[in-house]
Amino acid sequence: MTDAELLAAIGEGRIGALRELHKRHAPWLAARLAHRSSDRTLVEDALQDTFVAVWRRASDYRGEGEVAAWLWGIAIRKLIDRVRRNRIPRLERPSVVESAEDVVLAGIAYGDLGQAMARLSPELMAVVQARILDGLSTREAARLLKIPTGTVKTRLMRAKQIMREQLA
Amino acid sequence: MTWHVDESALGRYREGVIDRVAAASLEAHLASCEDCRRLVVFDHDWLKHSWDGVAGRVEPGGSGVVERTLGRLGVPDHVARIVAVSPALRISFLLAVVLVMGFAAVASGAHSPGGNYRVFLVVAPLLPVVGVAFAYGRLVDPAHELTMVSPIDSLRLLLLRTTTVLAVSITVGLVAWPLVPAPSTLGFSAWLFPALALTLTTLALSSRFAVWLAGSMVAGGWIVAMLFALSRGFEAFNTRAQIGFVALAALATAIVFASRHQYDREGSPR
């Protein structure tokens, strides 16, 4: 069964299909969420919220694009909800940063854009990650990162400027 | 896709010891490559625990069918959800109702004809009261938190749940009634009117007390009153008594309406 077929079965109320979808996607979603929040509990809760939402809203999937990407769109927003509800602010911080040369990814060439991104400060990178890579709105990014929306905008502008200069 | 992630990079990604550019391209790849997603290692206990959490939240009623059906009938989502998760629809409550009614029906039939049908009439009207009293609250309600944040006020919620509980109880009662060797002068209303009166009295008392307390008071009062009446030979289920139950139900409804503003969100229905 493909993921899209699983979603159709979930739409018909088949819990087994949800379980299979969870089995396929929970591990990588959890890993990716953990890169957005260091709070283990928040990540676990957001992950569960995601599949509960899928159970209720499976029919919202329009059959366009990867199911995985659609799931991530839900997961990151559930994480934002959880972060917002949580009283104690926790910000994702990259714990250890390796040099790009140390990382061997078979076949991947980082290219100029990757080099440009590597120059960004963690604050700017976090905004680029939220707004560009995760596709969040300014307001959503602000909630996730716990900074004002104005700051998201200025940081994104600055990040783009730095990357443009790197690429020029 | 011309390349795939290697497992050591995935391992570093999971441990958070990977530079952010590599992390970003790995994430982009994972979102579009099923084969590589399968390489993400995970703990089986963790997966099961996570799934249990999801399962506990999506099927507290045993299935999502009720919710979906209500949704198709035009009931708003949040209302359908609350009705669907109310304990009345949980298998355990249904089983309890069936068992108790069955037991009461058998108990009333096991003795001389016409002698003990009152057992059923004393026990069965309490079932919806118990259902309502415990259909609401942190201890018994898996969706309590959901309930508290729902855009729906406490009284409406209580009425919704009461309706659900009554629907379940009355259905089972209708099935059980023919098994009860009651005199032919007594109709199903001999059970229905006391049940409605007690349930509505519970609701009325809930404007001042926690629902479980209101339910306990009504149940206790009913049992004492019935024991007293039966031991003195009063007929508690004849036509005149039924008119009394209807009057009590009407009075309780009036009280619920008059004190409708006292069912505040955080307040009485605890």
- Which tens digits make up the pLDDT trace of B70-94? 666 666 666 666 666 555 556 666 7
Full-model pTM: 0.48
CB B183 within 8 A of CB B235: no
What top-level class would CATH report for the domain A102-168? mainly alpha
Minimum mean pLDDT range among A73-77, B50-54, B104-108, B114-118: B114-118
Q: Which of A13, A103, A106 sits opposite B4 (nearest CB)?
A: A106
CB B131 within 8 A of CB B140: no
pLDDT over threshold 60, residue A106: no
Torsion of CA B65, B67, B73, B76, to 10 degrees: -160
Minimum mean pLDDT range among A55-64, A102-111, B257-266: A102-111
What residue has token string 């949980």?
Answer: B90
* B54 interaction partners in chain A (CB closer than 8 Å): 18, 22, 48, 51-52, 55
pLDDT for the residue B87: 53
Give domain A1-89's CATH number out of 3.40.50.1220, 1.10.3720.10, 1.10.1740.10, 3.40.640.10. 1.10.1740.10
* B24 interaction partners in chain A (CB closer than 8 Å): 114, 117, 129, 133
pLDDT for the residue A94: 40
Q: How far is CA B111 from the centre of its chain?
A: 34
pLDDT for the residue B264: 54
CB contact under 8 A, A105 and B5: yes
Per-domain residue ranges of chain A: 1-89, 102-168
pLDDT for the residue B58: 79
CB contact under 8 A, A117 and B21: yes
- Which tens digits make up the pLDDT trace of B179-200? 777 777 777 788 889 899 999 9
CB contact under 8 A, A103 and B18: yes
Identify the CA nearest to B1 among candidates B39, B25, B29, B31.
Answer: B29
pLDDT over threshold 70, residue B256: yes
CB contact under 8 A, B3 and A105: yes
* A4 interaction partners in chain B (CB closer than 8 Å): none
pLDDT for the residue B83: 63
pLDDT over threshold 50, residue A97: no
pLDDT for the residue A92: 45
Identify the CA nearest to B256 among candidates B187, B204, B191, B198.
Answer: B204
Q: Do domains A1-89 and A102-168 have the same CATH topology?
A: no
pLDDT tier for residue A155 given thresholds of 50, 70 and 90: very high
pLDDT for the residue A28: 94
Tell me the DSSP string of B150-171: SSS-HHHHHHHHHHHHHHHHHH
Give the residue on A whose Cα is nearest the Cα of B37.
A28
User: If you average pLDDT over residues A92-98, what whole number do you get?
Assistant: 40
pLDDT tier for residue A96 given thresholds of 50, 70 and 90: very low
* A19 interaction partners in chain B (CB closer than 8 Å): 51, 55
- Which tens digits make up the pLDDT trace of B3-40? 777 888 888 888 888 887 888 888 888 888 888 898 88
The span from the CA of B256 to the CA of B262, in Å, is 9
CA distance A117 to chain B (A): 7
> Most A CBs within 10 Å: which of B10, B46, B58, as the mutation test of the A interface?
B58
CB A153 within 8 A of CB A131: no
pLDDT tier for residue A20 given thresholds of 50, 70 and 90: very high
In total, chain B counts a number of residues equal to 270
Minimum mean pLDDT range among A21-25, B152-156, B266-270: B266-270
Minimum mean pLDDT range among B129-133, B146-150, B232-236: B146-150
Q: What is the 3-state secondary structure (H, E, C) of A124-139?
A: HHHHHHHHHHCCCCHH
pLDDT for the residue A71: 92
pLDDT over threshold 50, residue B135: yes
Provide CB contacts within 8 A for B28, sequence distance 6+.
A133
Q: Which of B16, B28, B40 sits opposite A28 (nearest CB)?
A: B40
CB contact under 8 A, A117 and B24: yes
Identify the CA nearest to B172 among candidates B229, B268, B97, B260.
Answer: B97
pLDDT for the residue B66: 64
